[in-house]
């Protein structure tokens, strides 16, 4: 019989799932709201409300973000990725194999999103150097990073959640490499699929032709975005009201939807006062305009004419070669940057984040899933996967390359701006990670203590610069989401919801056998995981799977392993998996690409898992 608390809990859970599917709000906000309502209604006690935040999975996740940051900061992961991808060459089959193996192996020890952030520009450069479309490699890169997490206990939140629930119920203690046999089979299945049928399903879209080894050249980017059609030179007479005005006060992006790129100014030569030399000045926010300045502005011709009319400016005509000489040179250049999911820039405008003041670069356009936004870019709210076209001095563009938490540089950069890292710190970070893996493998101390020890060593040794840097590197969304989901699941259990759902499943599927039960739980978890990110769907399914297994008289361990696999395979949508969102714009993928290839590989791996899991974890 359904009680009032159970009815309320089910309504709240269903509403939360509906909001997850709608994807208009952050997942952690939805889960925390549901948790708070359950507490306010008295369905959860205060201790139950906050218990999830003390769960060792939540604490381990935070520690692993810091460990991963130590490896990424020191450059060792990028170096390893470069070495492995350097083996690519010859056939597309060989290159695809190496890309997926590289991503899968690294993702066993680090965040999949972090691995894609590092490897994405490297894979694009490799593909373009081979005169191959990057679309042939970027989706397999994302998929390999997701599946590779199954290789170890800490590779994916799903594995940690399953291991924690098993331990809490006194069923089994899974060590670091206990997931490896199933993880290897799942990864091998994914690899086989992408090298065979997956290759046939992958699109082959032309992103650019005749690309340099650094990716899209600045000139090609300018042509792709049709930049030259929107560039205009204006001369400032001495009588213009704009003389003496500071650029920040003019608010050209807001008032005219224009971007001032650079200023050409005549200045007396200090050594030969009778001579004048032409200076090219970057358009900084605090720059003041002088008489006879020639300004280069970017925007629609109608807006430029309105600016010229209001301030009595004079148009200066130019040819394409003249503009290229000033716009793209050894000093100035163009590149694309990709907005990373969960970065500080997500849902912010360029004005909000003070992008121009921070990097001294101009944003000319935004590429959002193939749609080019060139008007009013400063007030456009940024979304994960947005590709932003920027112009500025190469030195300033290179500074953006180091800001990996917020953006990825996917266009060309100057030769002098290569990433500098400390070899001594790099090997220290590797040593600390190796120590963590050994401690987790020996199971001599609790896993959460092994991870926290490694995280603290990363900070103490300087692999992570400071505690403030450590806090910044933590992605709080999955931590808060999973913590809240533990509380919601407790409410479902306390009110009898877990027992009711388990009884329904026992009635519906009592005659399909153990393998059929595996298939059912794989499918249910897989569906939820396409809408609830970071493996949090597994939190909901574990108590139901435990009770159902007991009711049906089978060992819950193989069912739990199946949940972990399904919870890590959010492959059919770019909205939930961070790895998918990162490659969508860079690879010019469409939603149907993720749906067709993602569902196909999920079904293929699912069939393999239902057959092989009982071999390693018998019923």
Do 190 and 109 sit in the same domain of this protein? Answer: yes
Q: What is the pLDDT of residue 575?
A: 77
Do 491 and 453 sit in the same domain of this protein? Answer: yes
Distance CA 41, CA 103 (A): 46
Residue ranges making up the domain that contains 406: 227-411
Residue 50 gets which letter from DSSP? H
pLDDT digit string, tens, across residues 221-241: 666 677 777 888 899 999 999
Quick one: average pLDDT of 270-278? 62
Distance CA 23, CA 19 (A): 6
- Is residue 527 in a domain? yes
- Is residue 132 in a domain? yes
**Residue 272 clears pLDDT 60, i.e. is over it:** no
Q: What is the pLDDT of residue 420?
A: 41
Distance CA 548, CA 504 (A): 9
**Residue 442 clears pLDDT 90, i.e. is over it:** no
Burial class (CB in 10 A: 0-12, 13-18, 19+), 122: buried
Burial per residue of 401-435, b for 16 or more beta-carbon CB atoms within 10 angstroms, e otherwise = bebbbbbbbbbbbbeebeeeeeeebbebbbebbee
Do 176 and 304 sit in the same domain of this protein? Answer: no
N-term to C-term CA, the chain: 32
Do 147 and 269 sit in the same domain of this protein? Answer: no
Find the CATH number of the domain harbouring 307. 3.30.70.1450
Quick one: average pLDDT of 273-278? 64
**CB 328 within 8 Å of CB 342:** no
Q: What is the pLDDT of residue 403?
A: 60
Instruction: Report the number of secondary-structure helices (H) and strands (E) in the chain.
Output: 28, 10
- Is residue 407 in a domain? yes
Quick one: average pLDDT of 61-68? 92
Quick one: average pLDDT of 259-263? 84
58 vs 472, more confident: 58
Burial class (CB in 10 A: 0-12, 13-18, 19+), 279: exposed
Beta bridge partners, 234, equal 295, 315
Do 593 and 509 sit in the same domain of this protein? Answer: yes
Do 515 and 396 sit in the same domain of this protein? Answer: no
**Number of structural domains in the chain:** 2
pLDDT digit string, tens, across residues 333-368: 778 888 876 677 878 888 888 887 788 888 888 887
Quick one: average pLDDT of 431-452? 91
Burial class (CB in 10 A: 0-12, 13-18, 19+), 368: middle
Do 202 and 247 sit in the same domain of this protein? Answer: no
Do 494 and 530 sit in the same domain of this protein? Answer: yes
- Is residue 12 in a domain? no
Lowest mean pLDDT among 297-301, 352-356, 422-426, 504-508: 422-426
- By three-state DSSP, how is residue 57 classified? helix
**CB 563 within 8 Å of CB 589:** no
Could you give the C-alpha distances from 278 to 201, 264, 275, 281, in angstroms and in order? 55, 7, 10, 10
**Residue 485 clears pLDDT 60, i.e. is over it:** yes
- By three-state DSSP, how is residue 262 classified? strand
Average pLDDT taken over every residue of the chain: 85
Burial class (CB in 10 A: 0-12, 13-18, 19+), 97: middle
Burial class (CB in 10 A: 0-12, 13-18, 19+), 10: middle
- Is residue 215 in a domain? no
Q: What is the pLDDT of residue 327?
A: 67
Lowest mean pLDDT among 83-97, 233-247, 273-287, 553-567: 273-287
Quick one: average pLDDT of 521-536? 92
Q: What is the pLDDT of residue 559?
A: 95
Q: What is the pLDDT of residue 415?
A: 40
272 vs 156, more confident: 156
Q: What is the pLDDT of residue 610?
A: 96
What is the per-residue DSSP string for 149-211? GGGSTTSSHHHHHHHHHHHHTTS----TTTTHHHHHHHHHHHHHHHHTHHHHHS------SS-
Q: What is the pLDDT of residue 265?
A: 85
Q: What is the pLDDT of residue 322?
A: 64
At 216, the pLDDT band (50, 70, 90 cuts) reads low
Phi, psi of 506 (to 5 degrees): -65, -40
Q: Pairing between strand 276-282 and 259-268?
A: antiparallel
At 515, the pLDDT band (50, 70, 90 cuts) reads very high
Do 568 and 495 sit in the same domain of this protein? Answer: yes
Do 251 and 300 sit in the same domain of this protein? Answer: yes
If one counts every other C-beta atom within 10 angstroms of the C-beta of residue 537, the result is 28
Do 403 and 499 sit in the same domain of this protein? Answer: no
41 vs 414, more confident: 41
- Is residue 190 in a domain? yes
- Is residue 313 in a domain? yes
H or E element at residue 483: helix 476-494
Name the residue among 237, 230, 364 with its Cα closest to residue 294.
237
Please enumerate in sequence order all residues whose Cβ is within 8 A of that of 61, keeping only pairs 6 or more positions apart, or say none: 157, 160, 478, 479, 482
Q: What is the pLDDT of residue 400?
A: 75
Q: What is the pLDDT of residue 213?
A: 36
Beta bridge partners, 338, equal 387, 408
- Is residue 218 in a domain? no
Name the residue among 190, 113, 182 with its Cα closest to residue 153.
182
Do 404 and 441 sit in the same domain of this protein? Answer: no
Provide, rounded to the nearest whole percent, the portion of the chain with pLDDT above 70.
Answer: 88
Q: What is the pLDDT of residue 220?
A: 61
At 419, the pLDDT band (50, 70, 90 cuts) reads very low
**Residue 427 clears pLDDT 70, i.e. is over it:** yes
Most confident of 83-97, 106-120, 259-273: 106-120
pTM of the model: 0.75
């Amino acid at each position: 019989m359904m009680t009032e608390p159970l009815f309320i809990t089910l309504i709240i859970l269903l509403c939360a799932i509906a909001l997850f599917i709608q994807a208009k709000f952050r997942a952690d906000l939805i889960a925390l709201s549901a948790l708070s309502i359950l507490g306010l209604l008295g369905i959860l006690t205060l201790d139950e409300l906050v218990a999830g935040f003390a769960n060792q999975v939540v604490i381990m996740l935070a520690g692993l973000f810091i460990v991963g940051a130590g490896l990424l900061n020191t450059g060792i992961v990028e170096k390893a990725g470069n070495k492995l991808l350097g083996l690519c060459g010859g056939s597309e089959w060989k290159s695809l194999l190496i890309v997926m193996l590289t991503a899968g192996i690294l993702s066993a020890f680090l965040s999949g999103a972090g691995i894609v952030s590092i490897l994405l520009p490297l894979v694009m450069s490799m593909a373009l150097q081979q005169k191959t479309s990057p679309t042939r490699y970027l989706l397999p890169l994302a998929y390999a990073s997701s599946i590779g997490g199954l290789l170890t206990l800490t590779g994916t939140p799903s594995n940690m959640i399953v291991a924690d629930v098993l331990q809490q119920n006194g069923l089994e203690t899974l060590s670091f490499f206990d997931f490896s046999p199933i993880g290897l089979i799942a990864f091998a299945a994914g690899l086989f699929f992408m090298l065979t049928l997956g290759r046939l399903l992958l699109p082959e879209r032309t992103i650019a032709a005749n690309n340099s080894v650094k990716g899209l050249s600045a000139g090609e980017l300018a042509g792709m975005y049709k930049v030259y059609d929107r560039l205009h030179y204006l001369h400032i007479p001495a009588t213009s009201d704009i003389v003496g005005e500071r650029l920040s006060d003019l608010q050209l992006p807001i008032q005219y939807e224009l971007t001032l790129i650079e200023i050409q100014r005549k200045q007396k030569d200090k050594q030969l006062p009778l001579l004048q030399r032409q200076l090219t000045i970057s358009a900084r926010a605090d720059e003041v305009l002088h008489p006879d300045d020639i300004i280069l502005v970017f925007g629609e011709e109608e807006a430029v004419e309105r600016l010229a009319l209001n301030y009595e400016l004079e148009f200066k005509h130019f040819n394409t070669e003249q503009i290229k000489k000033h716009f793209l040179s050894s000093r100035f250049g163009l590149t694309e940057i990709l907005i990373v999911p969960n970065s500080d820039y997500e849902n912010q405008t360029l004005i909000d984040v003070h992008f121009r003041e921070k990097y001294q670069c101009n944003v000319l356009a935004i590429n959002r899933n193939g749609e080019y936004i060139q008007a009013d870019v400063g007030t456009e709210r940024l979304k994960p996967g947005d590709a932003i076209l920027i112009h500025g001095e190469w030195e300033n563009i290179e500074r953006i390359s180091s800001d990996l938490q917020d953006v990825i540089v996917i266009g060309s950069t100057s030769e002098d701006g290569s990433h500098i890292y400390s070899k001594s710190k790099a090997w220290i970070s590797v040593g600390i990670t190796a120590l963590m893996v050994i401690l987790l493998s020996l199971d001599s101390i609790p896993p959460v203590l092994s991870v926290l020890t490694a995280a603290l060593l990363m900070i103490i040794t300087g692999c992570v610069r400071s505690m403030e840097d450590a806090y910044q590197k933590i992605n709080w969304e999955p931590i808060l989401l999973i913590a809240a989901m533990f509380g919601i699941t407790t409410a479902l259990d306390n009110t009898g919801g877990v027992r009711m759902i388990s009884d329904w499943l026992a009635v519906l599927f009592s005659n399909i056998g153990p393998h059929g039960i595996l298939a059912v739980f794989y499918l249910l978890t897989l569906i939820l995981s396409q809408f609830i990110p970071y493996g949090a769907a597994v939190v909901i399914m574990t108590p139901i799977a435990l009770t159902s297994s007991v009711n049906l008289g089978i060992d819950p361990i193989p069912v739990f392993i199946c949940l972990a696999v399904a919870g890590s395979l959010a492959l059919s949508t770019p909205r939930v998996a961070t790895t998918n969102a990162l490659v969508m714009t860079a690879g010019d993928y469409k939603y149907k690409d993720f749906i067709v290839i993602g569902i196909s590989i999920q079904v293929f791996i699912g069939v393999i898992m239902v057959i092989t899991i009982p071999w390693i974890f018998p019923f």
